[in-house]
Amino acid sequence: MTEKQFELIDRATERKSELPVRTGTIGPAVVDISSINKDLGLFTYDPGFGLTAATESRITYIDGDAGVLLYRGYPVEQLAEKSSFMEVAYLLLLGELPSRKQLEGFSGSIRYHTMINETLLRFFNGFHHNAHPMAMVSAVVASMSAFYHDTMDIHNPRQREIFAHRIIAKIPTIAAAAHKHSLGQPFIYPRNDLGYCSNALHMLFAVPCEPYQVDSVAAEALDLLFILHADHEQNASTSTVRLAGSTGANPYAAISAGVSALWGPAHGGANEAVLSMLEQIGSVDNIAKYLAMAKDKSSHFRLMGFGHRVSTNFDPRAKIIREMCHKVLVRLGRPDNPLLELALRLEEIALKDEYFISRKLYPNVDFYSGIIYSAIGIPRSMFTVMFAIARTVGWVAHWQEMISDPAMRIGRPRQLYTGPTRRDYIDITKRV
């Protein structure tokens, strides 16, 4: 919807540009600056895209100050309490909660696609055993574009749907294969009689020489973590998927770009970094020292799992995960977890500290998730991979939304050039 207008005036030339304001269904309105280059010969400058809405979207809404996160309008707290990851995946992809029949059809299709081409499995042998699983997952997901290239017409809705089901179904299989490769254990094939998370745990932990019983507590915990990680509107990895996909690139390649972007410690890699940090801090007695380091800009140390570009109040996902930590540890029979105790104390002290208060730095989704992943036996190097499994749903939903939009354009940011002005080439014999 377009409403009132702002006017931008170049005082030197008296040239003007009328800037319409566009309003969404909720949240702040945006100023549409698309005419200012034509009217005034200007571009805008917004490093880190802190203020720029790059797209319209109907998928996820965040009010960071109020601690609100809605998937297709539904509060994440309600989905975490009442829904399942498969249902949330359907909701994010298709916009509405499914009927029982629709959910069965959707889950059935996801189960049908869990196996990966045997040749793709051999790719893992090209990696050293200590390769980071995120590197393997990113490479193997990108390689899927080689298997589904000629058959993939991004303008065909049915082919897009098959792509969506394939990648959501296969990403746990690829993730588990990366884990098994790191351990030097044989790859475990998916079991299509199991639910999404139970199957993921089966592929991660089963071995061919003995029976494996999926722990229902672990499967439930994983399902809840996956719901909370499924989408977070235009975050760095989702924007990466959109940008790569906007070129018309094969969508598996675009998802692989998202996996790579997620890996960084400022984004999804923070869950791994949080656990390393807690171990580094070691004891409550050292918290003051590390908080001082986090406040000292010259130390390059940040409190991992704290702060968020958009969530500038308590992230509802962090609240749920924190509450869930105790329950899961008790149900798994491991109620005393020194790292959880340390994390709780660190949070308490940081939230009373003027530095964190004034900058609105709260625990984010990654602060507690690693403690749960650890408790269910997932090694630290796999934390971000688990995040990637869940976020694949969000990436696919955004890619679908973008590709099916007739107004889609290639993503192409501008720049403020500050390099040398035009100069003539100097022959190498004349350079000093």
- Candidates 87, 220, 223, 366: give the one binding ligand ACO (CB under 6 A): 366
What is the DSSP-derived secondary structure letter of residue 15? E
Question: Which one of residues 160, 170, 242, 267 is an interface residue with ligand ACO (CB under 6 A)?
Answer: 267
Alpha-carbon dihedral sign for residues 257, 317, 214, 195: negative
Q: Which of 366, 398, 424, 427 is catalytic?
A: 366
Q: Are 321 and 221 in contact (CB under 8 A)?
A: no
- How deeply is 348 buried, as exposed, middle or buried, from its count of CB atoms within 10 A (0-12, 13-18, 19+)? exposed
CB 194 within 8 A of CB 221: no
**Considering beta carbons, is residue 15 or 289 the nearer one to ligand ACO?**
289
Minimum distance between the CB of residue 77 and ligand ACO, rounded to whole angstroms?
A: 18
Beta bridge partners of 133: none
Helix (H) and strand (E) counts in the chain = 18, 6
CA pair distance 272, 266, nearest whole angstrom = 11
Active-site pick, 113, 165, 179, 308: 308
Minimum CB distance to ligand ACO smaller for 92 or for 270 = 270
Whole-number minimum distance, CB 227 to ligand ACO, in Å?
Answer: 15
Residue 384 interacting with ligand ACO (CB under 6 A): no
Residue nearest to ligand ACO (CB): 307
In the sheet that holds 74-75, the strands lie side by side as 60-63, 68-71, 74-75
Catalytic status, residue 366: yes
Residue closer to ligand ACO, measured from CB, 114 or 237: 237
Instruction: Write the CB contacts of 14 (distance below 8 Å, at least 6 apart in sequence).
Output: none
The Cα 61–Cα 74 span in angstroms is 9
Q: In the complex, what is the shortest distance from the CB of residue 127 to ligand ACO, in angstroms, rounded to a whole number?
A: 25
**Which residues 36-55 are close enough to bind ligand ACO by CB under 6 A?**
48
Nearer to ligand ACO, 236 or 402 (CB): 236
Restricting to residues 305-364, name those near ligand ACO by CB under 6 A: 305-309, 359, 361, 364
- Of 203, 137, 221, 218, nearest to 171 by C-alpha is 137
365 binds ligand ACO (CB under 6 A): yes
Closest approach, Cβ 364 to ligand ACO, in A, equals 4
Closest to ligand ACO by CB, 181 vs 232, is 232
Catalytic status, residue 308: yes
Task: Give the nearest distance from C-beta 187 to ligand ACO in angstroms.
Answer: 29
Write the interaction track for ligand ACO spanning residues 284-313; mark x where CB under 6 A is met and - where it is not.
Answer: ----------x-------xxxxxxxx----
Q: Which is nearer to ligand ACO, 16 or 359 (CB)?
A: 359
Q: How many residues bind ligand ACO (CB under 6 A)?
A: 19
* 174 vs 365 by CB, closer to ligand ACO: 365
Is the alpha carbon torsion for 269, 275, 279, 285 positive or negative?
positive
CB of 262 to ligand ACO, least distance (A): 8
Output b/e per residue, 363-396; b: 16+ Cβ within 10 A. bbbbbbbbbbbbbbebebbbbbbbbbbbbbbbbb
Measured CA to CA, the distance from residue 232 to residue 188 in angstroms comes to 31
Q: Are strands 2-10 and 15-22 parallel, antiparallel or unpaired?
A: antiparallel
388 touches 140 (CB < 8 A): no
End-to-end C-alpha distance for the chain, whole angstroms: 60
Structure tokens at 391: 């976020």
Minimum distance from residue 303 beta carbon to ligand ACO (Å): 4
- The helix/strand/coil state of 17 is strand
Q: Does 234 bind ligand ACO (CB under 6 A)?
A: no
CB of 307 to ligand ACO, least distance (A): 2
The answer to whether residues 229 and 391 touch, using CB atoms and an 8 Å cutoff, is yes
Return residues touching ligand ACO (CB under 6 A).
Answer: 48, 266-268, 270, 294, 302-309, 359, 361, 364-366
Known catalytic residues are 308, 366
